[in-house]
A and B are shown apart, each in its own frame.
Chain A
Amino acid sequence: MNDFYIILTACLVAINCAIMGSFLVMRKMVMIGDAISHAVLPGIFFAYIFSGSTSSLPILIGAASSGILATIIIEWLTHKAKLQSDASIGISYTLLFAIGIILISKFGANADIDQQCVLYGELEYVPLWLEPIIGNFYLPKQTIILLIVSVIVLFAVIWGYKGLLITTFDENYSLSIGIGVGFWHYFLMSGVSLTTVVSFESVGAILVIAFLSGPPAIAYLLTGNFKKMLVLSCAFGILCSIIGYYLAKSLDVSVAGSISVVIGGVFAIVFTATTLRKSKIDVISN
């Protein structure tokens, strides 16, 4: 049963991240996702201080707001202070992460959170806190909250699909027909922050980035159709989670780390295959 809990949790994170990541990849904003995943640390710290965990929705949203704060700072630095965008990202997330670490080392003992799980999570411990659902059916606390957030994210994306799509693919056009580009930017960023925060405890910052960038990148190499890309990246996220889990189990290593490695491996295979095929086509057409 533990296997099932861990794989289910990883898959939920994978799906959430695959959807958000696909938009980020198309918007060339994956590194902002990376920044958010580090910058939510102060928010998570305060969530722990106030409630002992991130397992309730209001607390979760509170913690996610520090991710949104990071995107606001990045926007301000880039557009108002005229700092080049890569440096804006680099400065803001390292500062917020540093503040988070300072808070955790100073008061972390009271908050039951440590530095290590921040970076690579504790997927292995997910089944330790079970909650009864119906009768004999139990689910880990983390998984339940993850499930709720997944549903919210899914509905939000379906509701806002058109707006997200137009602002992702043709910013000028959406400006000209009066669609609020700013609104959809922060809409997406809120989604990414929420996803990151809820995934944080179980998988850690690094696997979040692997999930945000890897499966969408793999899917992007395989298709030019965005809807197909969404489906494919979810599928690859799930596939990598399952393989990664059993790999970790057989090697006795970190699950989050091993899933990242599998994502890297699958990417390498798809990348090689598509590159070889492309060069073959080039040769033929020449």
Chain B
Amino acid sequence: MSFWQNISTYFSSEYYTFWVVSIGAGIICFAAGIVGTFSYLRKRALIGDVVSHAVLPGVAISFMLTGVKDPLYFLIGATTSGILSIWLVDFIQSKSKLKPDTILALTLSVFFGIGIVLLTKIQHSGDAAQSGLDSFLFGKAASMTMHDVITFSIIALINTICIVVFLRAFSIISFDEEYAKSIGFNVKVIKSFLALLTVITVAIGIQSVGIVLMAALLITPASGARFLTNSVKKMLVYAGIFALFSGFTGVIISSSGEAMPTGPWIVVVLSTFTILAIFFGKEKGVIARMRIRKSNNIKINNENTLKTIYKLSKEGNESISRDQLINNQSITQFKATLKRLEKNQILSRVKESVILTEKGKLAAREVIRKHRLWEIYLSKYFNLDADHLHDDAEGIEHIITPEIEKHLITLLDRPEKDPHQSEIPY
């Protein structure tokens, strides 16, 4: 009973604020995560950093002009100066020899400097309504209201709809602007539209998580998602879910203790997800790639040893000693290779010598066949000299799949001899 009582207290009115804040944070993170996926894909991850600093003067000016803290005026001001910053970055880049990173850093710090100057001006003028303006610096998620949640939901909905509708256009300009141009997309309009969505999302989200951490909401979910999939659609889904969940969890963690800031906790949760994805991502993760590299090395060692045994026995060596086989492997690697080959019944040991089994001979012929076929292919289609062929084939022989081999054989008309006049074993 007590468990259910515990659960039900979370839905009582005492927890109203908690739910508002956690759901609101989840939604704005979601909105930023999906639109940020395109910033990531366009390799403009740091533009989020610039925009989030650059909205500050806009906010300050809109307050100075109107004298009220109206979210709508803030939004207009913030969006205007955010767009201006992006435009400036592009403009300076097109007109000078300065590199993008310098321009980004300069724009970011100068806009922020203007913002700080205006903010201190407002503060020193002693306007009673000014308090709370500096929440833009670090964000005040805890003071989120139902009104904010509705705003967040609207921007999340707009982002989602726009991305669903323009998915193809957004994806194509992210990967290849030239191609997008050639098939008739108006790249400039699409880019500006995407920038507008990003800036509005930043301008809205910044009040909850603050300037510096807003950049993380845009790129960290996408970076993690990138390690899980190659498809843009799936990336969007993963980034969205990552972000939604992190926003929610971040609020739960930060509300569990005194003096726990919400924005930073959201970023920590988000980064944890991304770090996990970087390590454990299927195929692309660090661990998966290490495993692939290891299994490739094993394959290469196996095949090279096989090949050497085959060649040596072809040359008439009756017994082959281990010293002749070790190649580039270390002693431990070599021992492991021999053990593996023996276990797979590829070779058998006779005292200090080794001989190939029938299965082993077949496998060795396959490697040598691939090597020689590739040499022929290179000399025929790339006109390489005979003495340049070996090294390339040495690497590729381990990679050629049976399908590619079949293609090669048909393409080359089932040749009998390689460019060095050695026979090709079929």
Interface residues in chain A, defined as those with a beta carbon under 8 Å from any beta carbon in chain B: 25, 28-31, 33-34, 38, 77, 80-84, 86-87, 89-91, 94-95, 97-99, 101-102, 105-106, 115-116, 119-120, 206-207, 209-210, 212-214, 216-217, 220-221, 248, 251-254, 256-261, 263-264, 267, 271, 274-275
Verify A251–B268 contact, CB threshold 8 A: no
Kindly state the separation between the CA atoms of A242 and B111 in the bound complex, as whole angstroms. 20
Verify A209–B108 contact, CB threshold 8 A: yes
Q: Would you call B226 an interface residue if the criterion is a C-beta within 8 Å of the partner chain's C-beta atoms?
A: yes
Verify A213–B219 contact, CB threshold 8 A: no
Q: Chain B: which residue is nearest A270 at the CB level?
A: B96
Total A-B residue contacts, Cβ distance less than 8 Å: 201
Contacts of B99 in A (CB 8 A): 25, 28, 30
Kindly state the separation between the CA atoms of A115 and B96 in the bound complex, as whole angstroms. 36
Known: A87-B223, A89-B46, A251-B121. A98 touches B106 (CB 8 A): no
Verify A90–B220 contact, CB threshold 8 A: yes
Contacts of B114 in A (CB 8 A): 257, 260-261, 264
Verify B137–A119 contact, CB threshold 8 A: yes
**Chain B nearest CB, measured from A173 CB (Å):** 20
Interface residues in chain B, defined as those with a beta carbon under 8 Å from any beta carbon in chain A: 40, 43-46, 48-49, 53, 92, 95-106, 108-110, 112-121, 124, 134, 137-138, 211-213, 215-216, 219-220, 222-223, 226-227, 257, 259-261, 263-265, 267-268, 271, 274, 278, 284, 286, 289
Contacts of B120 in A (CB 8 A): 252-254, 257
Kindly state the separation between the CA atoms of A212 and B108 in the bound complex, as whole angstroms. 12
Contacts of A102 in B (CB 8 A): 260-261, 264-265, 268
Can you list 13 residue pairs at the A/B interface with Cβ under 8 Å? Answer: A25-B98, A28-B100, A84-B43, A98-B265, A102-B264, A102-B265, A102-B268, A106-B259, A220-B97, A248-B117, A252-B121, A254-B117, A254-B120
Q: Chain B: which residue is nearest A218 at the CB level?
A: B106
Contacts of B116 in A (CB 8 A): 119-120, 206, 253-254, 256-257, 260
Contacts of B220 in A (CB 8 A): 90-91, 94-95
Task: Pick the contact of B40: A80, A87, A263 (CB < 8 A).
Answer: A87
Kindly state the separation between the CA atoms of A260 and B213 in the bound complex, as whole angstroms. 21
Kindly state the separation between the CA atoms of A221 and B103 in the bound complex, as whole angstroms. 12
Verify A94–B271 contact, CB threshold 8 A: yes
Known: A91-B220, A257-B120, A260-B114. A86 touches B268 (CB 8 A): no
Q: Chain A: which residue is nearest B115 at the CB level?
A: A257
Verify A220–B98 contact, CB threshold 8 A: yes
Q: Given known contacts A220-B97, A257-B113, what 14 new A-B pairs fall within 8 Å (CB)?
A: A83-B223, A87-B45, A90-B223, A98-B265, A119-B116, A207-B113, A210-B106, A217-B106, A257-B115, A257-B117, A261-B114, A267-B106, A267-B110, A271-B96
Kindly state the separation between the CA atoms of A99 and B272 in the bound complex, as whole angstroms. 12
Kindly state the separation between the CA atoms of A258 and B49 in the bound complex, as whole angstroms. 21
Kindly state the separation between the CA atoms of A261 and B95 in the bound complex, as whole angstroms. 21
**Chain B nearest CB, measured from A165 CB (Å):** 18
**Chain A nearest CB, measured from B143 CB (Å):** 15
Verify B268–A116 contact, CB threshold 8 A: no
Verify B215–A260 contact, CB threshold 8 A: no
Verify B121–A253 contact, CB threshold 8 A: yes
Q: Name, among A25, A87, A220, the residue most crowded by chain B CB atoms within 10 Å (CB to CB).
A: A87
Verify B216–A94 contact, CB threshold 8 A: yes
Verify A105–B259 contact, CB threshold 8 A: yes
Verify A98–B216 contact, CB threshold 8 A: yes
Verify A214–B134 contact, CB threshold 8 A: no
Contacts of B263 in A (CB 8 A): 98, 101
Task: Pick the contact of A271: B92, B118, B138, B274 (CB < 8 A).
Answer: B92
Known: A28-B101, A105-B259. A253 touches B117 (CB 8 A): yes
Contacts of B109 in A (CB 8 A): 206-207, 209-210, 213-214, 260, 263
Kindly state the separation between the CA atoms of A214 and B226 in the bound complex, as whole angstroms. 34
**Chain A nearest CB, measured from B226 CB (Å):** 7
Verify B212–A115 contact, CB threshold 8 A: no
Q: Chain B: which residue is nearest A268 at the CB level?
A: B110
Verify A98–B268 contact, CB threshold 8 A: yes
Contacts of A252 in B (CB 8 A): 120-121, 124
Q: Name, among A28, A34, A80, A82, the residue most crowded by chain B CB atoms within 10 Å (CB to CB).
A: A34
Q: Which A-B residue pairs are the 10 nearest by beta carbons?
A: A260-B113, A257-B116, A264-B110, A94-B216, A210-B109, A98-B264, A213-B105, A98-B267, A257-B117, A86-B45
**Chain A nearest CB, measured from B228 CB (Å):** 13
Q: Chain B: which residue is nearest A92 at the CB level?
A: B271
Q: Chain B: which residue is nearest A258 at the CB level?
A: B117
Kindly state the separation between the CA atoms of A173 and B110 in the bound complex, as whole angstroms. 36
**Chain B nearest CB, measured from A90 CB (Å):** 5
Contacts of A84 in B (CB 8 A): 40, 43, 45
Q: Chain B: which residue is nearest A26 at the CB level?
A: B99
Verify A264–B113 contact, CB threshold 8 A: yes
Verify A214–B223 contact, CB threshold 8 A: no
Contacts of B115 in A (CB 8 A): 257
Q: Chain A: which residue is nearest B121 at the CB level?
A: A253
**Chain B nearest CB, measured from A100 CB (Å):** 8
Kindly state the separation between the CA atoms of A213 and B105 in the bound complex, as whole angstroms. 6
